[in-house]
Amino acid sequence: MAGEPPGPIAQECVEGYLFARSPLELLLFRRPPARGSIWVPISGKVDPGDADLEAALRRELAEETGLATPRSVEPLDWHVTFRVDSGAIWRLHAYAVEVDRGFAPRLSDEHDLSAWVDPPEAVRRLHYTDNREAIGRLQERLGRPAPKP
């Protein structure tokens, strides 16, 4: 992607956008006050024991929501690189995760609240620009127009 920081990738990460169809709704998660009380998708680092990116995402889903078997997991073929406070470059890979409507996650200590919202509300709530852009990418994949920021 254009505008990526130069240099080697120090850490691969994954994020999952949980959704249900007809009508499209997304499940967002709020970080606790100690982590900024911001709304985010499920995310985490790829660990050395993970077979691949999707395996890392499935592990994160289980750890952060209790979800063992989503309806589907599809890569959004989209990633973002960014520089962390240490100066290292990390890369985040986005996935669409279809779940049953009304799925009630078991929250880990990484989040204090979850909410099912429509795409425009997801765009309003999500803290990071790349998260908001990923919602548009998800909607394109599902054949729906992206919401306006």
**Domain residues for 86?**
9-142
Report the pLDDT value the prediction gives residue 147, as an integer from 0 to 100.
53
Assess if residue 84 is contained within a domain. Answer: yes
Report the pLDDT value the prediction gives residue 85, as an integer from 0 to 100.
92
Q: What is the CATH number of the domain that holds 75?
A: 3.90.79.10
Per-10-residue mean pLDDT, the chain, length 149:
71 98 95 96 97 97 96 93 93 97 94 97 95 94 66
Cα–Cα distances in Å, from 23 out to 80, 104, 110, 142?
28, 17, 28, 11
**Rounded to two decimals, what is the model's pTM?**
0.90
Report the pLDDT value the prediction gives residue 148, as an integer from 0 to 100.
54
Report the pLDDT value the prediction gives residue 22, as an integer from 0 to 100.
87
Q: Which of 35, 59, 44, 57 is nearest to 113 (CA)?
A: 35
Assess if residue 46 is contained within a domain. Answer: yes
Assess if residue 147 is contained within a domain. Answer: no
Tokens of 141: 């994949």
Assess if residue 4 is contained within a domain. Answer: no
The rounded radius of gyration (Å) of the Cα atoms in the chain is 15
Assess if residue 136 is contained within a domain. Answer: yes
Assess if residue 43 is contained within a domain. Answer: yes
Report the pLDDT value the prediction gives residue 102, as an integer from 0 to 100.
86
Report the pLDDT value the prediction gives residue 2, as an integer from 0 to 100.
46
Domain count, the chain: 1
Report the pLDDT value the prediction gives residue 5, as an integer from 0 to 100.
64
Q: Which of 59, 29, 49 is nearest to 131 (CA)?
A: 29
- Could you give the CA distance from residue 103 to residue 82 in angstroms, rounded to a whole number? 31
Assess if residue 120 is contained within a domain. Answer: yes
